[in-house]
Amino acid sequence: MKHLPLFGNHEYTLGILGGGQLGKMLCQAASNWDIKTAVMDKARDFPAAHLCHRFVVGDFSRYEDVYAFGKSVDLLTIEIENINIEALERLESEGVAVHPSPKTLRIVRDKVKQKEFYQEHGLPVTTFRTFENAAEVKRAVDDGSLSLPFVQKSRSEGYDGRGVLIVRTDEDIKNLIDEPCLAEKLVDIAVEIAVIAARNHHGEIRTFPPVAMHFHPEANLVEYLYAPAGLGPAIEQEAIQLAQATIEAFDMTGLLAVEMFLTEDGNILLNEVAPRPHNSGHHTIESCSVSQFSQHILAISGMPLIRPELLSPAVMTNLLGAEDYSGPVQYEGIDQCLQKGNVHIHLYGKKETRPFRKMGHVTVLDRHLPRAIEKAKFVQEHLIVRT
């Protein structure tokens, strides 16, 4: 890989495919180093549009759009997985630096290929079976070869809980996802953990401290995230080592968010990864010695990485659109929340709210984690996203 002197040098451009909140926060981080950015996404009112040097209206699932955009930048990264891969492969073959690599993206965006990859590399995952559609899954249940409870996951295009169905009862069978999918064992989860790792092309790896994630029961989205995870040094070390082994296995340049399950019987299983900045690292903006966004840019531009240290306990909570509202967004209760002190509010700038849409997040810092949790709960009750 070419070493690109991006810092304070407007001869080179960092290109970001996707202009949502992750693209926006990447632009914010790039701005601290005076790195020139270009972003492509569907419309000029997307969160990242007003923070980049050049915004291109385009569809990242279209070959022509991705190829033309990639040709216009010097280093290309993504904020979302479902980018047109053929275009990324051609760009890479023509010498454009693309991170994460199209090879990694091909594996990651198909949940079956992803899990097969972990099995090949001896990384711990749940057992699973592959199916073409709902009828095939149902037949397996009927002939007794697949027993309840299990978790059905769509092979691709799943995100934020879409494409995941927990099947406990015969009633649930009626709602099976009718797509190519996998079915895996329902794990007795004690807690869900995430570790974000970064690696540059010199092979240097740095990991962020593990976090514990608590999910919103209906939305299947992270509701509260705790840092530190508070699982004890042995388990946290094991989680860090698993994240390191995973990023090594992918031979990645960039950031890899590794989602894991700590089971009730004390084992750690790999759930899935995201080769980019991730919701489970938003708190690092305020709580760590380096943010996940800055670390990603360091990693992909071939710079030395910063050793992430947690400077303060933190709780992150997502601001989701209230259940009964769809339309132009309005926020209520911001001043009340700020009065609590050390409450860091991020509004992504999406114009329209919808039930459970990710509209922003809030990070609360406090020397005492329980107090941070209390404040985050206050934020969830009082900061309302409605129309």
Closest separation in Å from C-beta 159 to ligand ADP: 5
Name the 3-class secondary structure at 104: helix
Host H or E run for residue 296: helix 292-300
**Cα 334 to Cα 346: distance, rounded to the nearest angstrom:** 11
Interaction mask 204-243, ligand ADP, x per CB under 6 A: -----------x----x-----------------------
Antiparallel, parallel or unpaired: β 189-199 and 254-263: antiparallel
Mask of contacts with Mg ion, 307-336, x by CB under 5 A? ------------------------------
Per-residue contact flags (x/-) with ligand ADP for residues 165 to 204, judged by CB under 6 A: -------------------xxxx-x--x------------
Please identify, using beta-carbon distances, which residue of 206 and 278 lies nearer to ligand ADP: 278
Q: Which stretch binds Mg ion (CB under 5 A): 129-137, 138-146, 167-175, 254-262?
A: 254-262
Among 161, 228, 230, 333, binds ligand ADP (CB under 6 A): 161
Q: Shortest distance, CB of residue 298 to Mg ion, whole angstroms?
A: 25
Q: How far is the CB of 338 from ligand ADP (least distance, A)?
A: 30
CB closer to Mg ion, 220 vs 342 = 220
- Greatest C-alpha distance within the chain: 64
Cα separation, 46 vs 168, whole angstroms: 39
Interatomic CA distance for residues 167 and 320, integer angstroms: 25
Based on the number of CB atoms within 10 Å of its own CB, is 166 exposed (0-12), middle (13-18) or buried (19 or more)? exposed
Rounded Cα gap, residues 94 and 88, in angstroms? 10
User: What residues numbered 125-154 form the site for ligand ADP, per CB under 6 A?
Assistant: 126, 151, 153
Beta carbons within 8 Å of 274's beta carbon, 6+ residues apart: 81, 108, 256, 257, 259
> Does 369 engage in binding with ligand ADP (CB under 6 A)?
no
> Which of Mg ion, ligand ADP, none has residue 126 at its interface (CB below 5 to 8 Å by kind)?
ligand ADP
- Residue 100: cis peptide before it, omega within 30 degrees of 0: yes
Q: Residue holding tokens 């899954």? A: 137
- DSSP secondary structure letter of residue 265: T
Residues that bind Mg ion (CB under 5 A): 259
Residues that bind ligand ADP (CB under 6 A): 126, 151, 153, 158-161, 164, 184-187, 189, 192, 215, 220, 259, 271-272
